[in-house]
Amino acid sequence: MAPADTIAAVATAVAPGQGSVAIVRISGPQAEAIGRSLFAAPGRQEWQSHRVLYGHVVDPASAERVDEALLLLMRAPRSFTREDVVELHCHGGLVAVRRVLELVLAAGARRALPGEFSQRAFLNGRLDLTRAEAIGEMVSARSRRAAQLAMAGIDGGLQRRLTALRGRLLDQLAELEARVDFEEDLPPLDGAAVAAELAAVRSALEQLVAEARQGELLREGLRVAIVGRPNVGKSSLLNRLSRRERAIVTDLPGTTRDLLESELVLDGVPLTLLDTAGIRPTSDRVEQLGIARSREALAAADAVLLLFDLAAGWTADDEALRQQAPAGVPLLVVGNKADAAGIPAGLESGAAALPPPADLSLSALSGEGLAALEAALLRCCGAGPLEGLQVALNQRQRDLAALAAASLERALAAADQQLPWDFWTIDLRAAVRSLGEITGEEVSEAVLDRVFARFCIGK
């Protein structure tokens, strides 16, 4: 690896008029020298590692004071990147902190790429790839549960599990490879025991792959489209679920003309609700455009909530919409206006008063049946038993775990057919490699670049 240069970035969110503190982070061999060239610390403050200095960032060209700041020096290897790190804690906002960064860059640092600090931490052995990814996930967590999951990853929960599984495979691989080379000199190998161990690891991996969906829900959240005929109460329901008057509600069909998003967290799962224009044939040009967007939202949603009016009953138009719901996407059919129809709210499918395709009844007006709807929504999206979830693979990790499980499947087929040991080892080695790619023990630079490019700058 080439010797590292010195990188710098604003590590905090940059927004005008916001954030009381902004941090410029510098990492690399020149970090301290750059800090010293720009920072004037009055009195007899000493440049000691892990001590905070008080002073001013000064433009060396003009001697102008740019900002009042604190400087934190963390010398290698006791820093996040294991390199020399200097952090300048400036006043928040936009202008001064940008100038501070410009001065740091002018003094010889290079602008950091997204995730480059974390990438250095990884390359310098400070953390494995699953921990590094968990840091990125912590930053983008939108709910408490997602943050807890990220924290478990930062603590190494995932790394320990995967390393243990990989270790078990490596043990078997060593035995097998020894037999390939020195069969005569070694005690006979119990093929059935090896196969049993491979099968056990495979099912542990399959379990992780199956649980990944829940983790994905927590991290990414779900886009739930509320669709239905005009006037059935879609906007009223959006307002109810988001606990605020987000959308305009009137008794005129065709009120909503455009997609409207509302973000909420349901039982720890972040959701983006989409209120859509009621779908009906119309000659109104604006409404037509809105309806086209409704259809796009319907096609792209992770889950669809089809709302109909219980007072009007289940109509042919409702049925036509149900037919248009994309296949394979969870669909919840909800009867609204239970109060006006004289039907109890909170009924579940099968109840005599509910028209057959309906999953439940509700009154968006009174809020009755809302809790049942929320529970049903989480259930139908597969966000069921989240409590027990300790760790969860992200998409990249899940694909690799699935790949490893498939390799083990092939190794087990070789075992089944009692093929010679070297037929087992090919696929076993592939499985070990896939798991190593998750933790970063065996990973190409291109993959690393892709992983860290998803991080924000300054992380």
Ligand X SMILES: Nc1nc2c(ncn2[C@@H]2O[C@H](COP(=O)(O)OP(=O)(O)OP(=O)(O)O)[C@@H](O)[C@H]2O)c(=O)[nH]1
Binding site for ligand X (CB under 6 A): 228, 230-236, 249-251, 253-256, 277-278, 336-337, 339-340, 363-365
- Between 53 and 249, whose beta carbon lies closer to ligand X? 249
Strand partners, 261: 274
- Between 172 and 336, whose beta carbon lies closer to ligand X? 336
Quick one: what does residue 88 bind among Mg ion, ligand X, none, with the CB cut-off 5 to 8 Å set by partner type? none
- Between 202 and 257, whose beta carbon lies closer to Mg ion? 257
**Dihedral angle computed from the Cα positions of residues 330, 336, 342 and 345, in that order, rounded to the nearest 10 degrees:** 60
- Between 366 and 390, whose beta carbon lies closer to ligand X? 366
Quick one: what does residue 363 bind among Mg ion, ligand X, none, with the CB cut-off 5 to 8 Å set by partner type? ligand X
Strand, coil or helix: 41: coil
Tell me if 235 contacts Mg ion by CB under 5 A.
yes
- Rg of the chain taking only CA atoms, in angstroms: 29
- Considering the complex, what minimum distance in angstroms separates the CB of residue 20 from ligand X? 40
Quick one: what does residue 439 bind among Mg ion, ligand X, none, with the CB cut-off 5 to 8 Å set by partner type? none
Quick one: what does residue 55 bind among Mg ion, ligand X, none, with the CB cut-off 5 to 8 Å set by partner type? none
Contact criterion met (CB below 8 Å) for 213 and 382:
yes
- Closest CB to ligand X: residue number: 278
19 burial via Cβ count (<10 Å: 0-12, 13-18, 19+)? middle
Residues 6 or more apart in contact with residue 43 via CB below 8 angstroms: none
- Between 83 and 339, whose beta carbon lies closer to ligand X? 339
Quick one: what does residue 337 bind among ligand X, Mg ion, none, with the CB cut-off 5 to 8 Å set by partner type? ligand X
> Measuring CA to CA, which residue among 308, 336, 332 is closest to residue 381?
332
- Considering the complex, what minimum distance in angstroms separates the CB of residue 284 from ligand X? 12
Residue 11 Cα to chain centre, angstroms = 20
Q: Give the separation between CA 325 and CA 342, rounded to whole angstroms.
A: 28
Which tokens belong to 44? 């007899």
According to DSSP, residue 229 is labeled S
- Considering the complex, what minimum distance in angstroms separates the CB of residue 378 from Mg ion? 24
- Considering the complex, what minimum distance in angstroms separates the CB of residue 363 from ligand X? 4
Strand partners, 57: 39, 67
Q: Give the separation between CA 117 and CA 109, rounded to whole angstroms.
A: 13
Residue written as tokens 């440049």? 47
The one segment of 153-161, 204-212, 250-258, 388-396 that binds Mg ion by CB under 5 A: 250-258
- Between 361 and 434, whose beta carbon lies closer to ligand X? 361
Strand partners, 224: 273, 303
- Between 49 and 242, whose beta carbon lies closer to Mg ion? 242
Q: Give the separation between CA 176 and CA 179, rounded to whole angstroms.
A: 5
Tell me if 336 contacts Mg ion by CB under 5 A.
no
- Considering the complex, what minimum distance in angstroms separates the CB of residue 233 from Mg ion? 8
Quick one: what does residue 321 bind among ligand X, Mg ion, none, with the CB cut-off 5 to 8 Å set by partner type? none
Residues 6 or more apart in contact with residue 341 via CB below 8 angstroms: 309, 310, 311, 335
Which tokens belong to 64? 């102008």
Residue written as tokens 């809790």? 371
- Between 339 and 437, whose beta carbon lies closer to ligand X? 339
Tell me if 256 contacts Mg ion by CB under 5 A.
yes
- Between 81 and 262, whose beta carbon lies closer to Mg ion? 262
Residues 6 or more apart in contact with residue 456 via CB below 8 angstroms: 114, 115, 136, 139
- Between 98 and 280, whose beta carbon lies closer to ligand X? 280
Q: Give the separation between CA 71 and CA 24, rounded to whole angstroms.
A: 10
The one segment of 97-105, 248-256, 319-327, 341-349 that binds Mg ion by CB under 5 A: 248-256
Quick one: what does residue 340 bind among Mg ion, ligand X, none, with the CB cut-off 5 to 8 Å set by partner type? ligand X
Quick one: what does residue 336 bind among ligand X, Mg ion, none, with the CB cut-off 5 to 8 Å set by partner type? ligand X
- Considering the complex, what minimum distance in angstroms separates the CB of residue 262 from ligand X? 13
Give how many residues touch Mg ion by CB under 5 A: 4
- Considering the complex, what minimum distance in angstroms separates the CB of residue 269 from ligand X? 24
Strand, coil or helix: 459: coil
Residue numbers at the binding site for Mg ion (CB under 5 A): 234-235, 255-256
